[in-house]
């Protein structure tokens, strides 16, 4: 039984290209779902945590093949009379295998050129305007002597890019015993970072499509990628040296260390303050690292057709990712005896100003070295059988196996001047080019990376306890296997109706290894006290097993060629990331000033999500399309990142015997329940009714309205909040132009605020309040001009507004993270031969 899909798919193809970013379709490895993700604000894998790169809400969640739908085979489309253009709508040109590496899957019959496809561009970034990056990609196409037997596509890509970010990180604390009351938020630390990065990468890949017999089809794609990122990051940090986290009702060790005679408190927040000269500290830091990256992966499938609509298929995916930081060095200078700084909240953004200081008052505080290795593996194999019982009745079944492993090995060392505290005068080798005053955020010249690498370490002493603690805190080795089987039934009672029903059985087992580390990172108003404080570490291993049955139901109705309805009800899983499951426990008492506990959570259960959705598609004409959708989710054990304060005592008297302290805990936790309701619309309209040449223009856009909630217990408090990473509003709006030679589009994306991490209460602070990503709007554009059959010129612009990313705690006035990546412009050409 054949569906009249040709016209409908042509429309979907056109709109898919127009609605880039509108989330109509998304190429992804089969182990990924349109679920949620719950990364941490403070305990991400080290590289991500330090860069603090947050994206707009994205659809990533390990499901171990929990998302399964009937794949429309390419040969099925051909039998239904679809053109090559229509087939492109269902083609995956790039697949991110296991979330680790991108594999290009474009086949020989989808390459525009006959032999050679060459694309090259230069890239300029507004934050690093003195550098111009570039990328060149060469694609070679070869058809087998008999074209119906297949062909090969080979490509090579070289990229040299200048990227990076500007950041501001702010730590808020709570002040007690002020005339205005208790629990008054103020800024304890503020850090500014300028992080230019030079990225060099080479990539090789190929795709083979082969029909050894008219009924047997092989498709295989592979990639190997090697690169190097060199980062020179300059940091400036203002530290009030306040200590405001103690047991409830007890006096903290240092308290609120600002000038209470001059501070300004508005609406219960310290909006202006001046530090005390004999207490505050100003730091200059340099991070110098080269990260070596290596990735490879492949995806392949072989299918043998047993009949007109019956086949046997085996497909497989594999990916490997390795990041090395073999020689990372952090150098820090500090001034803490006479520095006085002031801060003011300018709207929602803090502005810091330092009183004039000679540069030579800064002394070496510490030098840190790291030798880090991170590796991730992923593999997945499936065997499936599809059989047509009789006309309109089909069965499909199969089994699968998936393995994912995440390994991290950190080696950390910290060195300090022999005479502690840091102001030892050991700064002559690196200090800047003379004395400079510091209004605003500038406090002197940058630290010279070359001179920092040449420090004389004979005058330094290693802080072994901190090295042992931070090394143990970061190390882990986790592995999870998921295996199972599925079966489904498809019934087509008529050309207009199609019905699918099935179930999936999954069994998972995990082995998670990590270390538990206890330390009392005491500071004597500067450097760590010598001799080094004791530290205790111990290895731990946890094993977990889960099994699940996941049903699915899909009903499709296509009364006309340009009209389509779909109703779907399914259950799927959101599994935790492996680093979240690692049984790590890192406890730092910090002499009671700011004690913290960062821990993994091996007891996290997969979150079962029941999703019901209704979709209505209508194609007006080529380039004109409307989609309306509604969906409801019901979630068991929704996962989110959380932080809270809780009394805790280190169970190692040799580390500390001070008893209970009020620690700040951070962990990924499971809630009791959650739900989501979402309404969406996607629209594209060719303005063909306008006079020429405006009839070649069009408009497109999308809008989704989401309402969600979850019930979670955080630190003993029962809370109800939005689901993590689910903004209430998302929108896209743009215009496009499609002429014989010119193609172009300009569009803007918007999302409203959304929750990324929960606290013990929304109004809490000091890292234990709710954290939100602020609303954001971006602007992108692309133009292409085809001036011959073989040459094309194009210009692309991304993030043209250079919109910053902001994260705040509880209130927009309490910004914790501000980041800007710069606008990027690409100018290049595309050649076809």
Q: Is the pLDDT of residue 247 over 70?
A: no
Report cis status (omega within 30 of 0) of the bond before 433: no
β strands within 268-362, DSSP E: 269-274, 281-307, 310-335, 341-346, 349-354
In angstroms, the CA 483 to CA 94 distance is: 25
Model confidence pLDDT, tens digit, residues 47-57: 332 222 222 22
In angstroms, the CA 298 to CA 379 distance is: 10
SS3 452: helix
List the domain boundaries for the chain. 1-72+477-800
SS3 47: helix
The structure's pTM equals 0.83
Confidence of residue 425 (pLDDT cuts 50, 70, 90): very low
Confidence of residue 203 (pLDDT cuts 50, 70, 90): very high
Residue 207 · residue 152 · CB < 8 Å: yes
The residue-averaged pLDDT of 77-106 equals: 55
Cα 594 to chain centroid distance, Å, stands at: 28
Bigger pLDDT: 40 or 203? 203
- Residue 483: what pLDDT? 93
SS3 554: strand
Q: Which segment of 25-39, 321-335, 465-479 scores lowest on mean pLDDT?
A: 25-39
Q: What angle do CA 71, 72, 76 make, to 5 degrees?
A: 145
Bigger pLDDT: 41 or 298? 298
β strands within 520-660, DSSP E: 535-557, 563-574, 585-588, 596-599, 607-621, 624-636, 639-648
Mean model confidence pLDDT for the chain = 79
> Can you read off the two tokens belonging to residue 585?
């426990």
Non-local CB neighbours of 391 within 8 Å, separated by 6+ positions: 1
The residue-averaged pLDDT of 49-74 equals: 26
Model confidence pLDDT, tens digit, residues 714-763: 888 898 999 888 889 999 898 888 888 888 889 898 999 999 888 887 77
> Can you read off the two tokens belonging to residue 131?
């550098």
> Can you read off the two tokens belonging to residue 724?
């993590």
> How far is CA 541 from each of CA 514, 538, 578, 600, rounded to the nearest angstrom?
7, 10, 13, 12
Dihedral-angle region of residue 212 (phi above 0 means left; psi in -120 to 50 means alpha; beta otherwise): alpha
- Residue 296: what pLDDT? 95
Residue 821 · residue 786 · CB < 8 Å: no
- Residue 728: what pLDDT? 93
Model confidence pLDDT, tens digit, residues 491-547: 989 888 999 999 999 999 999 999 999 998 765 444 444 345 789 999 999 999 999
- Residue 417: what pLDDT? 80
Total residue count of the chain as it appears in this document: 833
In angstroms, the CA 788 to CA 779 distance is: 30
The residue-averaged pLDDT of 374-385 equals: 93
Residue 527 · residue 365 · CB < 8 Å: yes
> How far is CA 35 from each of CA 42, 96, 489, 638, 784, rounded to the nearest angstrom?
22, 16, 25, 11, 35
> pLDDT over 70 for what percent of the chain?
81
Residue 782 · residue 796 · CB < 8 Å: yes
Q: What angle do CA 422, 423, 428 make, to 5 degrees?
A: 105
DSSP string, 733-754: EEEEEE-SSEEEEEEEEEE--E
Q: Is the pLDDT of residue 660 over 90?
A: no
SS3 560: coil
- Residue 278: what pLDDT? 77
- Residue 481: what pLDDT? 94
Query: Other CB atoms closer than 10 Å to residue 668's CB: what's the count?
Result: 22
In angstroms, the CA 68 to CA 502 distance is: 10
The residue-averaged pLDDT of 276-296 equals: 89
- Residue 81: what pLDDT? 34
Among the ranges 172-181, 472-481, 762-771, 809-818, which has the highest mean pLDDT value? 472-481
Q: Is 654 exposed, middle or buried (0-12, 13-18, 19+ CB in 10 A)?
A: exposed
Confidence of residue 585 (pLDDT cuts 50, 70, 90): very high
- Of the candidates 621, 722, 737, 734, the residue with the CA atom closest to the CA atom of residue 677: 722
Confidence of residue 445 (pLDDT cuts 50, 70, 90): low
Residue 800 · residue 782 · CB < 8 Å: no
Q: Is the pLDDT of residue 100 over 90?
A: no
Q: Is the pLDDT of residue 12 over 60?
A: no
Confidence of residue 403 (pLDDT cuts 50, 70, 90): very high
Cα 481 to chain centroid distance, Å, stands at: 23
Q: Is the pLDDT of residue 215 over 50?
A: yes
Strand order in the sheet with 349-354: 264-266, 269-274, 341-346, 349-354
Residue 768 · residue 244 · CB < 8 Å: no
Confidence of residue 419 (pLDDT cuts 50, 70, 90): low
- Of the candidates 102, 221, 219, the residue with the CA atom closest to the CA atom of residue 154: 221
- Residue 696: what pLDDT? 83
Q: Is the pLDDT of residue 88 over 70?
A: no
In angstroms, the CA 574 to CA 694 distance is: 47
Q: Is the pLDDT of residue 304 over 60?
A: yes
In angstroms, the CA 56 to CA 58 distance is: 6
> Can you read off the two tokens belonging to residue 233?
């990051």
Q: What is the CA radius of gyration of the chain?
A: 29
In angstroms, the CA 339 to CA 86 distance is: 67
Tell me the backbone φ, ψ of residue 638, rounded to 5 degrees: -65, 140
Model confidence pLDDT, tens digit, residues 670-698: 889 999 999 999 888 888 888 888 888 88
Q: β-strand 585-588 against 497-519: which pairing, if any? A: parallel
Bigger pLDDT: 16 or 169? 169
In angstroms, the CA 48 to CA 42 distance is: 10
- Residue 320: what pLDDT? 96
Q: Which segment of 178-192, 351-365, 546-560, 804-818 scores lowest on mean pLDDT?
A: 351-365
> How far is CA 802 from each of CA 349, 796, 828, rounded to the nearest angstrom?
17, 15, 21
Exposure class string for 263-294: b at 16+ Cβ within 10 A, else e: bebeeebbbebbbeeebbbbbbbbbbbebebb
In angstroms, the CA 625 to CA 738 distance is: 16
- Of the candidates 606, 637, 474, 616, the residue with the CA atom closest to the CA atom of residue 555: 616
> Can you read off the two tokens belonging to residue 712?
């979670």
Q: Is 788 exposed, middle or buried (0-12, 13-18, 19+ CB in 10 A)?
A: exposed
Among the ranges 400-414, 581-595, 787-801, 819-833, which has the highest mean pLDDT value? 400-414
Bigger pLDDT: 347 or 591? 347
- Residue 254: what pLDDT? 62
Tell me the backbone φ, ψ of residue 605, rounded to 5 degrees: -90, 145
Report cis status (omega within 30 of 0) of the bond before 34: no
**Element of type H or E holding 460:** strand 460-462
The CATH architecture that domain 1-72+477-800 belongs to is Beta Barrel (2.40)
Confidence of residue 93 (pLDDT cuts 50, 70, 90): low
In angstroms, the CA 515 to CA 372 distance is: 16
Q: Is 75 exposed, middle or buried (0-12, 13-18, 19+ CB in 10 A)?
A: middle
Cα 49 to chain centroid distance, Å, stands at: 10
> Can you read off the two tokens belonging to residue 311?
């086949």
SS3 694: helix
Q: Is the pLDDT of residue 18 over 80?
A: no
Confidence of residue 175 (pLDDT cuts 50, 70, 90): confident
């Amino acid at each position: 039984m054949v569906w009249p899909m040709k016209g409908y798919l042509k429309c979907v193809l056109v709109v898919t290209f127009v609605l880039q970013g509108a989330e109509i379709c998304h190429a992804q490895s089969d182990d990924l779902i349109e679920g949620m993700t719950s990364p941490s604000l403070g305990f991400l894998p080290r590289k991500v945590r330090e860069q603090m790169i947050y994206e707009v809400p994205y659809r990533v969640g390990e499901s171990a093949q929990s998302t399964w739908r009937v794949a429309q085979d390419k040969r099925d489309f051909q039998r239904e009379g679809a053109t090559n253009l229509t087939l492109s709508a269902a083609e995956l040109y790039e697949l991110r295998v296991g979330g680790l590496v991108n594999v290009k899957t474009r086949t020989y019959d989808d390459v525009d050129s006959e032999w050679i496809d060459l694309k090259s561009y230069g890239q300029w970034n507004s934050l690093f305007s003195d550098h111009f990056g570039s990328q060149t990609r060469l694609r070679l196409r070869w058809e087998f002597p008999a074209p119906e037997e297949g062909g090969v596509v080979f490509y090579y890509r070289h990229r040299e890019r200048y990227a990076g970010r500007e950041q501001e990180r702010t730590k808020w604390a709570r002040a007690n015993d002020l005339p205005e009351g208790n629990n008054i938020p103020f800024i304890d630390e503020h850090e500014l970072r300028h992080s230019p990065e030079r990225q060099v990468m080479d990539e090789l890949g190929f795709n083979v499509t082969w029909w050894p017999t008219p009924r047997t089809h092989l498709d295989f794609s592979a990639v190997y990628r090697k690169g190097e990122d060199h980062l020179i990051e300059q940091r400036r940090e203002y530290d009030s040296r306040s200590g405001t986290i103690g047991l409830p009702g007890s006096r903290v060790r240092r308290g609120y260390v600002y000038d209470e005679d001059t501070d300004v408190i508005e609406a219960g927040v310290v909006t202006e303050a001046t530090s005390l000269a004999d207490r505050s500290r100003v730091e200059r830091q340099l991070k110098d690292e080269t990260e070596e990256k290596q990735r490879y992966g492949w995806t392949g499938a072989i299918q043998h057709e047993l009949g007109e609509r019956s086949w046997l298929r085996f497909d497989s995916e594999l990916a490997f990712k390795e990041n090395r930081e073999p020689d990372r060095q952090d150098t820090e200078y500090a001034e803490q005896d006479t520095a006085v700084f002031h801060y003011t909240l300018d709207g929602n953004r803090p502005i810091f100003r330092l009183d004039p200081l000679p540069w030579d008052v800064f002394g070496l505080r510490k030098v840190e070295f790291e030798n880090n290795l991170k590796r991730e593996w992923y593999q997945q194999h499936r065997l499936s059988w599809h059989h047509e019982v009789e006309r309109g009745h089909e069965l499909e079944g199969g089994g699968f196996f998936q393995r994912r492993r995440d390994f991290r090995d950190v080696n950390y060392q910290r060195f300090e001047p022999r005479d502690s505290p840091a102001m030892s005068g050991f700064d002559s080798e690196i200090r800047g080019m003379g004395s400079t005053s510091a209004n605003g955020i500038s406090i002197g010249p940058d630290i010279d990376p070359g001179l920092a690498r040449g420090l004389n370490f004979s005058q330094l002493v290693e802080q072994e306890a901190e090295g042992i603690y931070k090394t143990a805190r970061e190390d882990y080795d986790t592995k999870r296997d998921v295996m199972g089987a599925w079966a489904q039934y498809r019934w087509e009672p008529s050309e207009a109706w199609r019905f699918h029903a099935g179930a999936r059985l999954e069994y998972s087992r995990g082995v998670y290894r990590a270390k538990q580390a206890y330390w009392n990172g005491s500071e004597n108003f500067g450097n760590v006290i010598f001799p080094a404080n004791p530290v205790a570490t111990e290895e731990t291993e946890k094993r977990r097993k889960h099994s699940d049955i996941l049903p699915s139901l899909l009903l499709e109705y296509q009364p006309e060629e340009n009209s389509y309805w779909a109703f779907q009800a399914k259950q799927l899983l959101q599994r935790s990331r492996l680093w979240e499951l690692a049984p790590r426990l890192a406890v730092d008492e910090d002499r009671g000033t700011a004690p913290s506990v960062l821990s993994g959570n091996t007891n996290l259960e997969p979150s079962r999500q029941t999703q019901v959705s209704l979709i209505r598609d209508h194609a007006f004409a080529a380039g004109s399309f409307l989609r309306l959708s509604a969906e409801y989710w019901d979630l068991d054990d929704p996962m989110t990142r959380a932080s809270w304060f809780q009394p805790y005592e280190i169970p190692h008297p040799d580390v500390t015997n001070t008893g209970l302290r009020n620690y700040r805990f951070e962990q990924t936790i499971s809630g009791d329940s959650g739900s989501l309701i979402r309404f969406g619309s996607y629209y594209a309209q060719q303005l063909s009714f306008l006079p020429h040449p405006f009839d070649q223009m069009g408009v497109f856009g999308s809008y989704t309205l989401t309402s969600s909630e979850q019930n979670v217990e955080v630190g003993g408090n029962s809370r109800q909040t939005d689901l993590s990473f689910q903004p209430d509003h998302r929108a896209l709006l743009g215009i496009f132009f499609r002429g014989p030679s010119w193609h172009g589009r300009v569009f803007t994306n918007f999302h409203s605020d959304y929750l990324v991490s929960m606290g013990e209460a929304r109004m809490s602070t000091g890292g234990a309040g709710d954290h939100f990503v602020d609303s954001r709007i971006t602007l992108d554009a692309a133009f292409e001009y085809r001036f011959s059959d073989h040459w094309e010129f194009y210009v692309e612009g991304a993030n043209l507004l250079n919109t910053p990313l902001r994260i705040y705690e509880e209130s927009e006035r309490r910004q914790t993270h501000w980041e800007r990546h710069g606008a990027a412009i690409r100018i290049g050409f595309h050649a076809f031969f």
